[in-house]
Amino acid sequence: GMYWNGLADQLGFSVGGLRALLLRETGTEGIEIIADGSLELTEQLFDETGNNGNEGNVLTATSTGTVWSEPVIFAMGKLTGATDVNVKGATISGGATAGNYIVEFDIARPDSDYIIQLTIAGENIIYVVNQTNTEFEIGLRTSSGAIVSPVPNWFFTVSDF
């Protein structure tokens, strides 16, 4: 049922004798909505300016409220050669040069100023050959500079500010 506990500026709802939802106005936090339990939305979620964001965006707290933004990490993967073991946000293909691979983003970046973190198993070398707003190319070599064969697992994480 609906209840009011006698305090000013508070309204609550209960289910099965337990508080489910509390609406209150406080001097420091403004209006608060406190949900005790899971929340299911059947419509869109909007930020404070009425923006519903884009697919893949996350709602982020700011000093003045909330705003939709891209996640900081927008692509990552674990691969063996061009074989996807687990990749998110990109597609992998072989490069024009043996031992090179292209990581093409599912959604193009606004510019090519993003951060690529690379790791390769064993005593091998992984490096960035080229970087654009739609893809980057990496090279895999042994510590002596030869093409790695067989190709060990390699990993990438791409983030942006």
Per-residue pLDDT of the chain (161 residues; tens, 9 = 90+): 777 666 778 888 888 888 888 888 877 778 888 888 888 888 888 888 888 888 778 888 888 888 888 778 889 999 986 677 899 999 999 888 889 999 999 989 999 999 999 999 999 999 999 999 999 999 999 999 999 988 899 999 999 87
Of 156, 82, 65, nearest to 119 (Cα)? 156
Q: What DSSP designation does 71 have?
A: -
| Residue 6, pLDDT score | 67
Question: Which tokens belong to 54?
Answer: 């884009």
| Cα–Cα separations (whole angstroms), residue 55 to 9, 27, 52, 59 | 37, 35, 9, 11
Specify which residues 124 forms β-bridges with.
142
Of 130, 160, 154, nearest to 70 (Cα)? 160
d(CA 37, CA 110): 39
Per-residue burial over 28-65, b if 16 or more Cβ lie within 10 Å, else e, is eeeeeeeeeeeeeeeeeeebeeeeebeeeeeeeeeeee
Backbone angles phi, psi at 32, to 5 degrees: -115, 140
| Residue 24, pLDDT score | 87
pTM of the model: 0.65
Question: Which tokens belong to 8?
Answer: 């000013």
Q: Are 154 and 148 in contact (CB under 8 A)?
A: no
| Residue 96, pLDDT score | 82
d(CA 68, CA 42): 19
| Residue 76, pLDDT score | 95
Q: Are 127 and 139 in contact (CB under 8 A)?
A: yes
| Residue 156, pLDDT score | 97
